[in-house]
Structure 1
Amino acid sequence: MYVPRDGELDEVAALIRNAQRVLIITGAGISADSGLPTYRGIGGLYHERLTKEGLTIEEALSGDMMARHPEVAWRYIAEIEANCRGAQPNAAHNVIADLEREKPGVWVLTQNVDSLHRMAGSQKVIEIHGKVHHLRCTECHHQRSVQDFAGLSLPPACPVCGGVLRPDVVLFGESLPQKGLDRLAHVLEQGVDLVMSIGTTSAFPYIAGPVWWAQQAGVPTVEINPGETEVSRIVDHRLRMGAAKAMTQIWARLHPQ
C-alpha cells in the first residue's frame, strides 16, 4: 500500500496555505469516489471493449457520428449519463469549493461534464468539455437543461424546429470552446502560485500544458493520482492517492483541530 513520504502532505498543505492564486486541474478520477466510472481507465465503463456496433467509444462518441447517426452517439451518451445519475460531490469536490471560499483566486479547469464541482459550490470553474445535462439544438438556437435523460426519446427532437438535440459537450473530433480556452489563458496570464493536477491522466495537451508551463516558470506543481500519468515525472510533489482521501488529509492539515 502506498504511503506518502514523511512530511509530504504537510509540504503540499503549506504550498496551498501560502498560495493566493491556485489552478486545480481535474479529470474523471476526482469523480470516482462519487461512484462515477472513469470510462477508459482500468475497470472503466469502456475499458478494452467495443460497442455493439463494433466501434471504439471514440468513434461512437464523435462529432461525425452525432451528425451522421445521432441515434448511435446518443445511445452511448445516455449510457454514460445513466451511470452518472444521482451522483453527488465527494470530499475532494467539497474541499476544492471550500478552498475557493477561503481564497478567491482558486480556479478549476475540469474535463468532467458531470457538474459536480458546481454542485459542491465552486464558482470559478472552466468546464472545458461542457455539461452533459445542458442540451442544444443542432439546427437552431434552442437550448434547455434537463435533470436526467430518463424521460427523453433518443435522439430527442427540438421542440422549436424539430432538429436533433444534443448535449452541450465536446465530442471526439470537435474543437474546444474558445471561451473556455480564453478564460484559461487569462488565468495563466494573471499568474498563479500553484498548479494542482487531480485525477487526470493529462493525456490531452491542453490539460498537461498548464503543468508544463508551471514547471518551466518555476511555479510549484502537485499531482494527486494513484496511477502514472503524462506529468508524473515533472511535478514537484506526487501523491499516489485517491482524490477524496488526499484532499481530506490536506484539509485536515490546513485546519488542525
Structure 2
Amino acid sequence: MDKNKLKTIVEKSNNIVFFGGAGVSTESNIPDFRSSSGLYTTSKNRKYPPEYMLSHTFFKNHTEEFFEFYKGEMIHINAKPNKAHMALAELEKREKLKAIITQNIDGLHQRAGSKNVLELHGSVYRNYCTKCNKFFDLDYILNSSAVPICHKCGEIIKPDVVLYEEGLDMDTINKTIEYISNADVLIIGGTSLSVYPAAGLVEYYRGDKLVLINKSETQYDSKACLSFQQNIGEVLGSII
C-alpha cells in the first residue's frame, strides 16, 4: 500500500529532490561505513582506525599509507548502478526529479544517466594537483605508483573527496539548500541521517511530503509522510 502511495505522490509532482547516503550504493556491492559489514568494522584490524586514515592529517603525514587504503577500499571501478540509481535517472528524464544530492563519491548516479547530481563529499573521478591544480582522472590515480605525482610540477595529487577535518564545498551546500528548500517532495534514502553537517540539510525542507527509505530507523521517521525500512532499489524500482 505504501508503495502505491509513493507512486501517487511521484506521479503528481514535478519538483522532487532526492537526498542519498551510502545505503544507495550497498546494493551495488559498495560497503557502507557504519553497519556490521561496513568499512569501519571490516578495517578494524588495520594499524590505524579507518576514520583517521580518511582524515586530512593522515593524508598529509602518511600519504603513501593513505593511498594504499584509499585505492583498496574507496574505489570500486567494477560497481554498476543498481535499481535505485536507474529509477532516479528515469525520474529526472521524465522531468520530475530536479536534483540528486548525494554523500557518495562513487559516481554511480552519473553512470546511470543522471545529470544534475550534487556531490557533497566529492568524487573519486576527480583529482587535482595540490600545487598547480592540474586535473587528473581516476585512471591516472590507479595507474600511479604508491603516491600519484603531478607530471607538470612534481607535487602530490589529491582526490577531490572531502576528508575528515575538511569542510564541504560552500557552492554545493548553497545549491543543496536551494533545491531542498524549494522541493515539493523530498525523498531521503540510504542514510541514517546521523552524520552532520549533511544530515542537518534536511531541516531546510518546508514541504509535507517527506519520504524516508532506509533499512534502520532515523531521527526523522516521525516527520515523514511515508517511511520504508526496505531495500531502496526495491522501493524506487516499484514506482517506475
Distance 2:94 2:116 in 1: 13
Cα shift at 1:35: 1.1
Match of 1:219 among 182, 190, 208: 208
Distance 1:119 1:135 in 2: 18
SS class of match (2:238): helix
Q: Which runs of 5+ in 2 are unaligned?
A: none
Q: Cα 1:201–1:57, aligned 2, differ >3 Å: closer, same or farther?
A: same
CA contact under 8 A between 2:23 and 2:191: conserved in structure 1?
yes
Q: Cα 1:98–1:148, aligned 2, differ >3 Å: closer, same or farther?
A: farther
Match of 2:86 among 94, 104, 108: 94
CA contact under 8 A between 2:88 and 2:97: conserved in structure 1?
no
Cα shift at 1:49: 4.5
Task: Letter of the 1:94 partner, please give it.
Answer: M
Cα shift at 1:48: 6.5
Q: Cα 1:146–1:13, aligned 2, differ >3 Å: closer, same or farther?
A: same
- Extract structure 1 runs of 4+ deviating beyond 4 A: none
Written as runs of structure 1 = structure 2, the 5 A alignment for 1:89-128 is 89-103=81-95, 105-128=97-120
1:45 aligns with 2:45: no
CA contact under 8 A between 1:223 and 1:235: conserved in structure 2?
yes
CA contact under 8 A between 1:226 and 1:239: conserved in structure 2?
yes
TM-score, normalised relative to structure 2: 0.93
Task: Letter of the 1:172 partner, please give it.
Answer: Y
Cα shift at 1:188: 3.5
SS class of match (1:183): helix
Task: Letter of the 1:202 partner, please give it.
Answer: L
Q: Cα 1:210–1:236, aligned 2, differ >3 Å: closer, same or farther?
A: farther
Written as runs of structure 1 = structure 2, the 5 A alignment for 1:82-231 is 82=75, 84-103=76-95, 105-147=97-139, 149-189=141-181, 191-214=182-205, 217-231=206-220
Q: Cα 1:48–1:150, aligned 2, differ >3 Å: closer, same or farther?
A: closer
Q: Cα 1:205–1:61, aligned 2, differ >3 Å: closer, same or farther?
A: closer
Deviations along 1:120-160, whole A, 9 cap, x unmatched? 11111101101112211112211111247542212111111
Deviations along 1:3-62, whole A, 9 cap, x unmatched? xxxx21111111111111111011111111111111332211331643522x22111110
Q: Which runs of 5+ in 1 are unaligned?
A: 1-6, 252-257
Cα shift at 1:72: 2.2
Q: Which residue of 1 aligns with 2:70?
A: 77
Distance 1:197 1:16 in 2: 14
Question: More displaced, 137-146 or 198-207?
Answer: 198-207
CA contact under 8 A between 1:201 and 1:229: conserved in structure 2?
yes
Distance 1:177 1:75 in 2: 25
Q: Which residue of 1 aligns with 2:223?
A: 234
When the two chains are superposed, the root-mean-square deviation of aligned CA atoms in Å is: 1.8
Task: Letter of the 1:71 partner, please give it.
Answer: E
SS class of match (1:238): strand
Cα shift at 1:240: 0.7
Q: Which residue of 1 aligns with 2:239?
A: 250
Distance 1:102 1:187 in 2: 18
